[in-house]
Amino acid sequence: METIAVTRQGEVRGRIDDGIAAFLGIPYAAAPFGAHRFRAPAPAEPWQGVRDALEFGPTAPKRPYRPPLDRLIPDPDVPGDECLNLNVWTPLVGEGRLPVMVWIHGGSLRNGSSSLSLYEGRAFARDRVVLVSVNYRLGVEGFGVFPDAPDNRGLLDQLAALRWVRDNIAAFGGDPGNVTVFGESAGAISIGALLASPHAAGLFGRAVLQSGPPRAVSRTAGAKTTGLMAERLGVPATAEAFAAVDRERLLDVQAEVTGKTTPIGGGPGFDIVVDGETVPADPRAALEAGAAREVDLLLGANREEYRLWFVPTGVLERVGRLTLRLALARFRIKGRLARLYRANRPGAKPGEILGAIATDLLVRVPLNRIADSRPPGAGTFVYEFAWASPVGGLGACHALEIGFVFDTLRTPGQVALAGPGAPQNLADAMHRAWVAFATTGDPGWPAWDSSRPVMVFDEPGMGPVLAPRDDELRMWP
pLDDT of residue 94: 61
CB 148 within 8 Å of CB 99: no
Least confident of 89-93, 171-175, 355-359: 89-93
Return the number of other C-beta atoms located less than 10 Å from residue 87's C-beta. 24
Helix or strand (DSSP H, E) at 131: strand 130-134
Catalytic residue from among 113, 185, 197, 211: 185
Our answer to whether residue 398 is catalytic in this structure is yes
Separation CA 55–CA 59 (nearest Å): 12
Least confident of 18-32, 82-96, 171-185, 327-341: 82-96
pLDDT of residue 407: 98
Burial code (b: 16+ CB inside 10 Å, e: under 16) for 40-54 equals bbeebeeeeeebebe
Our answer to whether residue 317 is catalytic in this structure is no
Catalytic residue from among 108, 211, 398, 401: 398
pLDDT of residue 460: 93
pTM for the whole structure: 0.97
pLDDT in tens, 95-129: 679 999 999 999 999 999 999 999 999 999 999 99
| Domain of residue 374, CATH code | 3.40.50.1820
Phi-psi region of 469 (alpha: psi -120 to 50; beta: other; left: phi over 0): left
pLDDT at 455 over 80: yes
Catalytic residue from among 141, 304, 305, 401: 305
Judging by DSSP bridges, how do beta strands 11-17 and 2-6 pair with one another? antiparallel
pLDDT in tens, 22-70: 999 999 999 999 999 999 999 999 999 999 999 999 999 999 999 999 9
pLDDT at 408 over 80: yes
Our answer to whether residue 373 is catalytic in this structure is no
CB 306 within 8 Å of CB 358: yes
Number of compact structural domains in the chain:
1
Candidates 372, 336, 337; CA nearest to 356 is 337
Count CA atoms within 13 Å of residue 122 on its CB side: 14
pLDDT in tens, 205-222: 999 999 999 999 999 999
Q: 335 lies in which domain range?
A: 2-475
